[in-house]
């Protein structure tokens, strides 16, 4: 999430540049955003970085650029908290089908699961989970080894008192793990099955998957690295147990698939207008977060929508204009990206071309 918000959005245990020459055939020129890739490596501490930008309003421009070894356009990589946008979309679809209501309490679907230490599922709604206003403790912040099941994650969270009880925004992976369980209770299928059926298959996201207990990445893929805090060396963390992330962050995807997903979502292909408006409504969080998606206003006045994802060995960010016609996804193959100004500067370079009216919005 943007700057300060990104710190809140980071998955704690899901621990949320020399310019390359590879490009897609339709690329007419080097965009300003691509010039930031060397900075992500040199200043951000990433071994390699890549981006894919697509703009249907500019002669259908498509730009792919990469820098550093071992990173390619078709690579599958872990997308972390971007999973939340997929989960939220499914929940809004179920609301459209009247199989649940956002005003439903957690206890209505998962009776007794959230209870104790000041936590009470009878007072927490699905809307509060979607907007991170439940106040539930973020289970990934617990000092113990991360749980490898959804129920264990909830038990870990409920063992702590709420972070707040006033309905204010507080990012918590626990919220989306609970939503995954609600989807299963309502549909009789796991959230991964519903995401595949409702989003991945219809949009033909052939590089996107939810691995469950599978610890390796599907081919083709590169490697992911974490920096050892003790000596600064990089450790290969490509293989990991994604069950610690679950519905909060287990997604695997590609640059092209993430662009396609957000373009379809914001373009109205996955949700009708009423549900899409609900998804993008940030009133509850005072402009910080919608439902599995958040806005970022850039200096030129353009507001982009999307999400970031951080998990061991990977950081990724997707942003798109409100109509979904202009999208950008960039990634690095480490979770220890430094330089807080690099991400907003890259987005500004892509979505705020020189000379654009600084008060124009889209």
**Could you count the other beta carbons within 10 Å of the beta carbon of residue 221?**
21
**Could you count the other beta carbons within 10 Å of the beta carbon of residue 220?**
12
- Chain Cα centroid distance, residue 271: 18
| Secondary structure (DSSP) of 10-45 | --SS-----------TT--S--GGGGGHHHHHHTT-
**In the chain, helix, strand, coil percent, each to 5?**
35, 15, 50
| Secondary structure (DSSP) of 339-354 | -TTHHHHHHHHHHS-T
- Chain Cα centroid distance, residue 147: 20
| Residue 145 to residue 12: CA distance in whole angstroms | 12
Over the range 37-48, which residues count as b (16 or more CB within 10 Å of their CB) and which as e? bbbbbeebbbbb
- Chain Cα centroid distance, residue 109: 25
Which residue is catalytic, options 81, 226, 253, 263? 81
| Residue 189 to residue 199: CA distance in whole angstroms | 15
Strands 225-227 and 234-236: antiparallel
Active site (annotated) includes residue 209: no
| Residue 41 to residue 17: CA distance in whole angstroms | 4
Active site positions, annotated: 81
């Amino acid at each position: 999430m943007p700057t300060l918000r990104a710190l809140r959005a980071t998955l704690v245990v899901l621990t949320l540049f020399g310019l390359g020459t590879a490009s897609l055939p339709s690329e007419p020129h080097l965009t300003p955003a691509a010039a930031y890739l060397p900075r992500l490596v040199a200043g951000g501490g990433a071994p390699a970085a890549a981006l894919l930008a697509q703009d249907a309003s500019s002669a259908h421009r498509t730009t792919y650029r990469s820098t550093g070894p071992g990173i390619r356009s078709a690579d599958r990589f872990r997308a972390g908290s971007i999973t939340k946008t997929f989960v939220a979309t499914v929940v809004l679809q179920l609301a459209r089908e009247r199989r649940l209501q956002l005003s439903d309490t957690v206890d209505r679907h998962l009776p007794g699961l959230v209870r104790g230490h000041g936590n009470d599922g009878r007072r927490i709604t699905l809307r509060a989970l979607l907007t991170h206003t439940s106040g539930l403790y973020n289970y990934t912040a617990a000092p113990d080894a991360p749980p490898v099941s959804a129920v264990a994650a909830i038990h870990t969270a409920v063992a702590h008192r709420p972070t707040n009880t006033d309905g204010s925004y507080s990012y918590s992976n626990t919220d989306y793990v609970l939503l995954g369980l609600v989807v299963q209770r309502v549909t009789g299928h796991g959230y991964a099955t519903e995401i595949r059926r409702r989003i991945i298959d219809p949009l033909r996201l052939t590089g996107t998957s939810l691995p469950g207990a599978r610890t390796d990445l599907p081919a083709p893929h590169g490697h992911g690295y974490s920096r050892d805090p003790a000596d600064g060396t990089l450790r290969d963390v490509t293989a990991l147990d994604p069950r610690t992330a679950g519905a909060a962050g287990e997604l695997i995807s590609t640059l092209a698939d993430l662009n396609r997903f957000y373009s379809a979502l914001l373009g109205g292909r996955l949700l009708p207008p009423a549900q899409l408006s609900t998804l993008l409504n940030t009133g509850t969080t005072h402009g910080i977060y919608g439902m599995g998606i958040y806005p970022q206003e850039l200096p030129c006045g353009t507001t982009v929508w999307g999400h970031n994802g951080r998990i061991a060995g990977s950081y990724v960010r997707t942003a798109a204009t409100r109509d979904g016609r202009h999208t950008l996804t960039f990634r690095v193959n480490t979770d220890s990206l430094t330089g807080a100004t690099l991400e907003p500067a890259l987005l500004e370079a892509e979505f705020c071309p020189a000379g654009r009216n600084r008060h124009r919005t889209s």
